[in-house]
Structures are given as structure tokens and as C-alpha cells.
Amino acid sequence: MKAWILTAFYLWKDIWSRWLETPGAVLARLAVGALLAGLMLLAQAALLLAERSLEIRVARLGAQVLAVTETVTGDPHARPALGQLLDPAAEHADLIALRQVAVPAEDEFGRDLLVLVYGDESLPALAPLLAAAPAAAVHVINPRLPVGLPLRVTLDGRDYASAVLPAPAWLQRHGANQPLVLVPATIGADWFSTGWFETALLINRTGDLPALAAAVRAILQWENRTHAQVQSPEALLNELADLRRLQHRAQTGAGLLGGLVVALVFGSIAVLEYRQNRFVAALLRSFGAPAPLIIIRYSVEALLLTTAAVLLALWLLVSLHGWLFGWAGFESALLQRTTFDPYTPALVWHQARWLVLGALLSLIPVAVGLRQPVGHVLQ
């Protein structure tokens, strides 16, 4: 055991002495490792930020929300409204159909309101929202007012009691950018004579958005509703899936290439150092030092240099993160590492492991050299 300890101590001192004797070799491995680690982590961060940016766009659009819009003029009874037409599709989705009508409306503070009329087909989906406020004839959605606040609303010259509802998640998808009032069709049935603009939101429950979109388009085509517009996040979801596949291939390809370069560079330098030091290694083996202990010496050196290179690259990228990706056009809010951090230990290790593997593979020539008989080396 004492011999092992003395041998290990000697090999540890040998690492430092060689670093002092040949600083160029150390700096070369550090530079190559840091450059490769920086490029790999930079590419990974760029792909992750692009994926996150696309996820935010999909979330804003509604990952499982279809929006169908149509402007109707003329006889309101000539054909069914979108909500009634798409009601069969509600078997697999929550249907919210709102008809915007040109009716003057304001609250008791004199603020204009957008009038949206809903029918019975939307009640199942709207029920949880309507239950969030006291019962009233109509309901107001205004994020600036406290939920449940009772209000008097004037619609087409008549006053109605109302209550304020919380702003639902689908409101952004609807596109309403001003306070609005939800009116049941029993009250607003007489306002359709001049036409309306209808938006039908179908919030998918099954996770199979393409099937729902195909069913909606088939219904519209069958009913010859050529003016209805279907807005679907399918293209963005496909783009997101393609980006994730690209990210996986790029990470794997960059990792394999980086590991190969590290193996070649570190291996070449390790072979040169071993040739200069092979007589000392042979003497140690003749005194009883096992070959694995000498391999461990080279392994420790390779791992130390690889770790230092990764940490150096990480420090540079973290320092320049905001400037680099801000210049590349990413939103400033996305570049806040408190919001999204592409340099977590798990993500860094995901790429650094390839460099570590390359550093360990670079020791294969040394291991082969240590298999030579001691007498053959010393003669």
C-alpha cells in the first residue's frame, strides 16, 4: 500500500512538473477544448432559445386551439351560425362561439364595450367562467376591474345588471383588445339583422389537433362556407417538431465531432509525452507499480484539462450571452437566465460528456504502449 501511495504521489507531481516544462502543450489542449466546448454549447443554446421562442409563439396562439372566423351579412336565418354548424365537433373539443354585433354598449363609468353574443352550444365551455362571478343577466370581462364587481351595463339603450368575470385564457386567442360584455342569445337575438362577425374557438381535448382540424375543414367544405377562415397552430407545431429533431441531430453530430477532435488532439500530445517518459514509466513498473495506475495518471490529467476547458468556455458564454443572442435577434425577455437558462449543469453535461469521452479515448495509444514488456523498453 505504501508503494502505491508513493507512486501515486510521484505521478501527481509529474503532472504538475510536465505542465511547467511544456506549457505550450497544456495551453494547446485548453484552447482546443475550450473552443470546441464553446462552439457546442453556443449551438445548443441557440437551438434551445429558438425552441423556447417557438414554444412561446405556439402558446400565444393556443397549442390545442382552432379558431374559425366568418363575417355574415344579410338574412341571419339563411344559414346556421358557426357555433351551430360546428357543434358536432364539440364531442372532442370545447366549443366557444361568439358573435360580435354592432350594438352600442357601455358600462356605468362610460367605457365602451365590445358586444359578444353566445348561444346554447357554448354554455358547456363557458359554464366554469360564468360560475366565477355572481349570477347576472350579462357579464363583463375587463382585466382592470376586480372579479365579481357588480356593474350596470347599457346595451342598445337598455340597462342590465352585470358582474365582472376573470379574463379567460382563450381571450388572447380570440383577439379582443378592449373590454367586452358577454350576452346570451336570449337577450341579443334581435341584434343579428345587420349581420355579425363570428369567432368559434375549438379547444381540443384529445391531443389529436390534425384530426380535429380535418373534421372542421370537412364540415365547412360540405356546407360550402367558403368565406370561413380556419386558423390552426398545426404549421407551428410541425415547425416545433422539426426543430426538436434538428436539435437532437445537431447535438449528437456536434458531440461526436467534438469528441473525435479531442481524442485526436489529446491523444497525439499524450503519445508524444509518453514517448518522452516511457523509460520512467518502465522503471516504475519494474518496481511494482501497476500499469492501470499510470493510465489513471494520464486520465486525471485529461479530465482536469477537459473540465478546465469546459468551465472556461461556459464562463465566456455566460458573460456574453445577452449580447450575443440579443444581436442575433432574440427577444430580451427570453434572454433573462432567470426565465430560461440554457446553461444548467444538466444541459452543459449533455455536451461536455462527449469531450470527456474523447479525452478518455485519447488514452488508448498510451494503454497500448504500456502493454510492451518492461525489458523491451529498458534494453
- Reported residue count of the chain is 379
- Whether residues 214 and 80 share a domain: the answer is yes
- Whether residues 210 and 258 share a domain: the answer is no
**pLDDT per residue over 240-288, tens digit each?**
888 888 888 888 888 888 888 888 887 777 677 666 665 555 555 555 5
Residues with Cβ within 8 Å of residue 262, at least 6 apart in sequence:
32, 33, 36, 306, 355, 358, 359, 362
- Using the 3D structure, point to which of 213, 232, 251 is the last residue of a domain: 232
| Gap between the Cα atoms of 102 and 27, Å rounded | 74
- Whether residues 352 and 372 share a domain: the answer is yes
- Whether residues 156 and 135 share a domain: the answer is yes
Question: Are 119 and 81 a contacting pair, CB within 8 Å?
Answer: yes
pLDDT of residue 84: 82
Q: Would you give the distance in Å from CA 18 to the centre of its chain?
A: 45
Grid coordinates in use for 34?
Answer: 475550450
Tell me the three-class secondary structure of 293-356, residue by residue. Answer: HHHHHHHHHHHHHHHHHHHHHHHHHHHHHHHHHHHCCCCHHHHCCCCCCCCCHHHHHHHHHHHH
**Cα→Cα distances 130→104, 181, 199, Å:** 23, 12, 19
pLDDT of residue 47: 87
**Domain range enclosing 89:** 65-232
The letter for the amino acid at 145 is L
- Give the predicted TM-score (pTM) of the model: 0.68
Q: What is the torsional sign of CA 30, 31, 36, 41?
A: positive
- Whether residues 37 and 92 share a domain: the answer is no
pLDDT of residue 315: 93
What domain count does the chain have? Answer: 2
- Using the 3D structure, point to which of 232, 252, 275 is the last residue of a domain: 232
- Whether residues 49 and 113 share a domain: the answer is no
- Whether residues 122 and 200 share a domain: the answer is yes
Tell me the three-class secondary structure of the chain, residue by residue. Answer: CHHHHHHHHHHHHHHHHHHHHCHHHHHHHHHHHHHHHHHHHHHHHHHHHHHHHHHHHHHHHCCCEEEEEEEECCCCCCCCCHHHHCHHHHHCEEEEEEEECCCCEEECCCCECEEEEECHHHHHHHHHHHCCCCCCCEEEECCCCCCCCEEEEEECCEEEEEEEECCCCHHHHHCCCCCEEEEEHHHHHHHCCCCEEEEEEEEECCCCHHHHHHHHHHHHHHCCCCCCEEECCHHHHHHHHHHHHHHHHHHHHHHHHHHHHHHHHHHHHHHHHHHHHHHHHHHHHHCCCCHHHHHHHHHHHHHHHHHHHHHHHHHHHHHHHHHHHHHCCCCHHHHCCCCCCCCCHHHHHHHHHHHHHHHHHCCHHHHHHCCCCHHHHHC
- Whether residues 248 and 208 share a domain: the answer is no
- Whether residues 81 and 173 share a domain: the answer is yes
| Gap between the Cα atoms of 50 and 331, Å rounded | 10
Exposed / middle / buried, residue 345 (Cβ in 10 Å: 0-12, 13-18, 19+): exposed
pLDDT of residue 95: 87
- Whether residues 55 and 203 share a domain: the answer is no
- Using the 3D structure, point to which of 232, 256, 281 is the last residue of a domain: 232
- Whether residues 161 and 292 share a domain: the answer is no
**pLDDT per residue over 138-178, tens digit each?**
899 888 888 888 889 888 888 999 998 988 877 776 666 78
pLDDT of residue 247: 85
- Whether residues 89 and 73 share a domain: the answer is yes
Residues of the chain falling short of pLDDT 70 = 1-22, 74-77, 173-176, 270, 273-294, 366-379
The residues that bridge with 71 in the sheet, in sequence order, are 197
